[in-house]
Amino acid sequence: MRVIIAEKPSYAKTIVNALEHIGEHFTRRDGYFESINYYVTWQFGHLFRLYTIEEYINSEDKRWKENILPYIPKQFKFRLKDDNGAKKQYQVIRKLINDKKVTEIVESGDADSEGNLLVTLVVSDVFRRDNLNKKRTRLWSSDQSETTIIESLNNLKDVNFYRNYSNEAYTRTCMDFLLGINLTRKFSLMNNRLTGARDIFSIGRCNTSIVDIIYERDMEIKNFIPVQYWQLESEEETKGEIVKLIDKDKFELVKEVKAKELAEHLNSCKAIVENVEEKLITKTAPKLFSLPSVQGILSDRYKISLGDSLKAIQSLYEAGYVTYPRTNSEYLSEDEVGKVRGIINKLNREGYNLKLKESKAIFNNAMVESHSALIITSKLPPKGSLNKTEEIVYNTIKNRFISKFLDEETKISQTIITITVGNRQYQLKGEVIKEKGFYNFEPLPKSKETITLPNLKKGDIVNIDFKPIKKETKPPSKLNLKTLIKMLENPFRKEYKTDEEAFKDVLEGIEIGTPATRTGIIENTKKYGYIIESKGTLSITDKGIYLIETLRRLNIDISKNRTVEFSKILKKVFRNELAPLAAVDIIKSELNEMFDSIQETKIEGFASDNKEKEVLGICPRCKKHNIVEGPKNFYCEGYKANPKCEFALWKENPFFKSKGKKLSKAIAKRLIKEGKAHVRGLRKKDNSGVYDADIILDDTGKYVNFKLSFENNKKK
């Protein structure tokens, strides 16, 4: 008998549906499904987390202490989350793994490094606790359609086959703890000691690099000094049409005389149409999507944020409508020809005219690392089943697939008119679409809109009157989400001759973040107050400027160059060229060097919370000071008084979290003013539904606890 452990409940249900199609009959139990041959259970994503610093040192005092930094654990430890739902589900999984009928454990996280690690951590913990030695395999599925799941179940591999994925995720987790936790605490504590504020400066290898990139661009724009120059232009009428010619040479502002001399010389020459070339070009459809490329288009074309587009894509993936989304490839692997043929056949039955093209421009193993391009599956969504954003996202992915396999050509008529003036040549280019082909499914780029040319023939004389036109250089454009993503994929803005050359750099780790992490990181930099998005562009804030400039003064290098070096280390772990512990040792050494270089005198202090704050009420503990909102809690302003009051309500409170809720400002206000708050939609322990209740504030004077009351429910 097998037990299959899915990453999420929804995936477990999809697996059950797939197995029922081949004859299994399941009964729903508490936390799992059961058939004759299978148990199918699930996690809620991560059930385990790393120890906090306080847990490593066995301290009940949760306040950050500067004297223990940098804190480097002798051994990194994971523990079960402080969440009743997580604890209960862990025991369900443990019971099923220990069942004597079970001979094989099938780990089925998402098909990526993080998905591999989060299930492996749970199974390994159960094996260690209960001294087990059963067969462990991995269900690796490129999408969550039932057909693909059955194919994957028939091709299970030993869990060690995918060990490099877990190794990479483990190394990344340790790396981010060492750099992120230590530098965040050190910087925040040093800053707040000067300002008396409670600012948190989140520092990490990827989010700080992103802030640094936006800082660099904004400083380029701020410090840009426009330079004026002269350029010759002629805009005269010939045969009733305006012919505009622009000379390629540019003259410094002080060389106006030279510009005028050249204009006079050109105007003294005849302007003759040297050649009119017309050719019919067959246009190739754009490549299939990676996650970054589709998010860039969705942001640029439909103004859909990265968070919203990822949420929609993830929803489509979990429903089985698209393949695994967090991919950096725009190609398909060569063994996917059969799968694509099935999708094409299904779409052709819907009225499309598609043809399988077994080309290296589409199917190319050398251009696929772990996951192929993002495409639709053979499971098509029923009409009306998607929300508005999901429909836009799905149609964008679907139309790109159709464009690539369309059995129609896209033909463009291109005309180039060459005009000779003395010893100089000028070209006018125009294009007209003759056969739309894939442009029936892809928006027409502005560069491909019909450009009409004057009706000129070879040998025609063109009227000219060149004049110097004063122009000035323009600053770099502000970054937007699309251009930022491109920079994270290619941080050094290298010009690549081929796709193969570009992908080789990705395989080496020359990128910032991954398709799986970039969206969350960019959103976090906004949440931390380092950057803002306004009218489609990204800008650095005062807090972001302070962070980057202070890090530079402290010689703490988390620029894009350094982050790329960290990424290369992770790729070496993935390729089994570097052991995880050896990689972590490198980061430990880097961290110690950073801390050795810190000189506190180089910190000036920055307080972002010195504006007047909304008062939620009087502190129920000290009865003197106001309760105000901080980044992570609602706290008493008496924390600086003598005697100090340490009353606080934490937003990510375990009590509320276990019931599927956050401690919101509205709830906090009622708790502070009335000592209780009526809350709707609390999650039941067994996840079988929700309920309403009063939550009572129970303050011991040292700890804040909560109790449930159903008195109001009875009155109703």
Residues 449, 352 share a domain: no
Residue span of the structural domain in which 252 resides: 228-285+410-472
Q: What are the pLDDT digits (tens) for 585-627?
A: 999 999 999 999 887 767 777 876 545 567 888 999 988 888 9
Q: Is residue 317 part of a domain?
A: yes
* Bridge partner residues of 235 (DSSP): 244
CB 381 within 8 A of CB 321: yes
Q: Is residue 437 part of a domain?
A: yes
Residues 464, 336 share a domain: no
Residues 551, 628 share a domain: no
**Token pair in block for residue 709:** 């009351």
* 444: confidence class by pLDDT, cuts 50, 70, 90: confident
| Residue 714: predicted pLDDT | 60
Residues 629, 546 share a domain: no
Closest C-alpha among 551, 510, 559, 606 to residue 207: 559
For residue 527, what is the domain's CATH number? 1.10.460.10
Strands (DSSP E) contained in 109-220 are 135-138, 157-158
- Determine if the pTM surpasses 0.85: no
Separation between Cα atoms, residue 440 and residue 444, nearest integer Å:
9
Domain count, the chain: 5
CB 317 within 8 A of CB 144: yes
Listed range (297-311, 329-343, 497-511) with the worst mean pLDDT: 497-511
Q: What are the pLDDT digits (tens) for 173-192?
A: 999 999 999 999 999 999 98
Q: Is residue 607 part of a domain?
A: no
Separation between Cα atoms, residue 535 and residue 365, nearest integer Å:
40
Instruction: Pick the last residue of a domain from 155, 181, 214.
Output: 155
Mean pLDDT of the chain, nearest integer: 92
For residue 366, what is the domain's CATH number? 1.10.290.10
Calculate mean pLDDT across residues 322-342: 94
Q: Is 696 helix (H, G, I), strand (E, B) or coil?
A: strand
Residues 463, 489 share a domain: no
Instruction: Pick the last residue of a domain from 99, 130, 155.
Output: 155
* Bridge partner residues of 425 (DSSP): 420
User: Quick one: residue 617, left, alpha or beta (phi over 0 = left, psi -120 to 50 = alpha)?
Assistant: left
| Residue 502: predicted pLDDT | 79
Q: Of all residues in the chain, what percent are helix, strand and coil, respectively (each to 5)?
A: 40, 20, 35
Q: Is residue 63 part of a domain?
A: no
**Token pair in block for residue 504:** 């080789």
Dihedral, 151, 44, 3, 173 alpha carbons, nearest 10: 80
Listed range (363-377, 440-454, 477-491, 597-611) with the worst mean pLDDT: 597-611
Separation between Cα atoms, residue 144 and residue 132, nearest integer Å:
30
Q: Is residue 56 part of a domain?
A: no
Calculate mean pLDDT across residues 313-326: 95
CB 245 within 8 A of CB 426: yes
**Token pair in block for residue 711:** 């008195």
Residues 142, 27 share a domain: yes
Q: What are the pLDDT digits (tens) for 458-511?
A: 999 999 999 999 999 999 999 999 999 999 988 887 777 677 887 788 778 888
| Residue 610: predicted pLDDT | 47
HEC profile of 495-552: CCCCHHHHHHHHHHCCCCCCCCCHHHHHHHHHHCCCEEEECCEEEECHHHHHHHHHHH
Please say if the pLDDT value at position 665 is more than 80.
Answer: yes
Q: Is residue 244 part of a domain?
A: yes
Q: Is residue 610 part of a domain?
A: no
Residues 102, 27 share a domain: yes
Rg of the chain over Cα atoms, rounded to whole angstroms, equals 31
Place of tokens 């391009």: 373
Residues 316, 400 share a domain: yes
Strands (DSSP E) contained in 84-162 are 104-108, 135-138, 157-158
Residues 379, 304 share a domain: yes
Residues 280, 389 share a domain: no
User: Rounded to 5 degrees, what angle do the CA atoms 440, 444, 450 make?
Assistant: 110
Residues 702, 671 share a domain: yes
For residue 42, what is the domain's CATH number? 3.40.50.140
Closest C-alpha among 525, 597, 509 to residue 556: 597
For residue 255, what is the domain's CATH number? 2.70.20.10
| Residue 500: predicted pLDDT | 81
DSSP for 43-89, written as a single string: --S-SEEEPPHHHHTT-S--S--GGGPSP--SS--EEE-S-HHHHHH
Residues 541, 414 share a domain: no
Q: Is residue 143 part of a domain?
A: yes
Would you tell me the crossing angle of helices 291-302 and 481-489 to the nearest 10 degrees?
A: 160
